[in-house]
Structure 1
């Protein structure tokens, strides 16, 4: 068996020139493979033992191998491999050390860091960043704070990590941009918020001095189906007010139909169900707050003097 065969199998057919040199493969053999069309050059430092279009796995290997032995997949690329959905991007994100130098390649975005690679890297054949630092570093450098917060909520909501682990990594990664905002957000999520919309409701309640809602209460609708409500308040008169927060995906016709049916099935003489959108919470929170007050949500009692 050729010395490069086993390595190529582990790396989806991608090989770096430095690896071939370490294995004792001669340049003349490589040139013959390329000239005969059995291998293909993908970057100045990486080739593949296949010649067709690259699979996603091969694109990831080519990107990591091109950027050197300490490189690893990071950001949304790493999180996608860990199981994050609905945050896909075309570019492959690679974390590299500040001092490393190599030719830029289309389709590869670099994140440079002074942090030690061994601290960030998880235990995988394809080098990739751990979930927590991948999410926090991406969020810290994302230009739009709303998207940064949305990602941290998503990795928790989709079960990739927990608020406690993310809070631990906020300290490990010090200094970290937006660390204070991330701690506040993660404490809200730790308190039961399952989405960024629910976090916005918690922030709205603090601003308006309203009692914090119960989150993700289990209810059974009239058809017998188990439902979890976004936010609920037990009102002083014995009634219950439910607030359902609709994100952009709720605009889908099938989802909207299910939402309407859900609202109808959860409404009873003692339980009212109202809805708002994440866009309202972000741009017009005063409107939602005024409606909650008008519908009877109590304010937090002021502390007694002295």
Structure 2
């Protein structure tokens, strides 16, 4: 058995009552520590050996200790612990066998999963946590709205925390998983940069809504004198050139996003209108893109649902 002082250090000062009992501290002694204001009861099942506001690390330990020995941090909480940036959430997500087997805790959401915990759990020491890939895939499949569900898959790849191939492998292991078909398509876009698949998606959109097919990879000199190649161009009846630039994935990287905005500014010119969309929009929301293109003067049929 791990010595109590070592356990306190490893768990950021948090202890479950079951751990205290195993070390010979009955509830009466625990109550005395709490009454003396040396310890704090943070949930009916967990005490903190420090006073003051809990740190983010302490909140995560509180959540898993409250939920029981088989529980683990999951969802975006697990992704944050393993390095994901700019997707932080105040709520701590914990994977459990049965979310109704214990008292609720403010700021903690218990997510029930019947999948093998031995498969999901990270082998790394420290805070019990789900491995990165199943953590984000389960969150994307069952917790997230459709856009962030696909966006987080792009984010973990763009931040070099995993690869499309690893996520696809986990998709197979998590079968059945809600939205898996769409996730495979998005991961395919990410794996190949999205460019060739985005071209096919533009063609499908044009045929579906009666839009003329665009010119591809037209060479343009931007305002700084640099040669650029545009993704799609159409000559409008009034002589204006309409340019559609397609982002192959979710541009969550700030530097890449700024570069894209700068590029758009510099290839915009009198008589040339530049608009952007993502490969995700072409795949899942093509009617919205078509409506916007028709509104800018491109001949075609306005989708009924979006009209």
Q: Which residue, 260, 284, 290 being the options, matches 1:286?
A: 290
Distance in 2, Cα, partners of 1:223 & 1:7: 63
Following superposition, the deviation at residue 42 of structure 1 comes to: 0.5
Listed one character per residue, the Cα deviations across residues 94-152 of structure 1 (whole Å, up to 9, x for unaligned) are 00113871111111101101112121111240111111101110111135222211222
Structure 1 residues 257, 58: closer, same or farther in 2, change over 3 A?
Answer: closer
SS in 2 for 1:276: strand
> Counterpart in 2 of 1:116?
116
> Counterpart in 2 of 1:44?
44
TM-score (norm 1): 0.73
TM-score (norm 2): 0.72
Listed one character per residue, the Cα deviations across residues 170-222 of structure 1 (whole Å, up to 9, x for unaligned) are 1101111111121122112112139xxx98776444433669988xxxx9995
Between 1:100-109 and 1:22-31, the stretch displaced more is 22-31
> Counterpart in 2 of 1:167?
168
- Uncovered stretches (5+) of structure 2, i.e. residues with no partner: 208-212, 235-242, 299-307
Structure 1 residues 143, 5: closer, same or farther in 2, change over 3 A?
Answer: closer
Tell me how large the CA RMSD over aligned residues is.
Answer: 4.4
Contact 2:11 2:61 in 1 (8 A): yes
SS in 2 for 1:42: strand
Distance in 2, Cα, partners of 1:213 & 1:13: 60
- Uncovered stretches (5+) of structure 1, i.e. residues with no partner: 236-240, 295-306
Residue correspondences, number: 273
Structure 1 residues 165, 89: closer, same or farther in 2, change over 3 A?
Answer: same
Alignment of 1:217-236 (within 5 A): 222=224, 232=231
Alignment of 1:115-154 (within 5 A): 115-122=115-122, 123-142=124-143, 144-154=145-155
> Counterpart in 1 of 2:301?
none
Distance in 2, Cα, partners of 1:212 & 1:44: 66
SS in 1 for 2:43: coil
Structure 1 residues 43, 264: closer, same or farther in 2, change over 3 A?
Answer: closer
Alignment of 1:60-99 (within 5 A): 60-98=60-98
Following superposition, the deviation at residue 13 of structure 1 comes to: 0.3
Structure 1 residues 280, 65: closer, same or farther in 2, change over 3 A?
Answer: closer
> Counterpart in 1 of 2:33?
33
Listed one character per residue, the Cα deviations across residues 234-275 of structure 1 (whole Å, up to 9, x for unaligned) are 99xxxxx7726599999x9xx99976644455689xxx8933
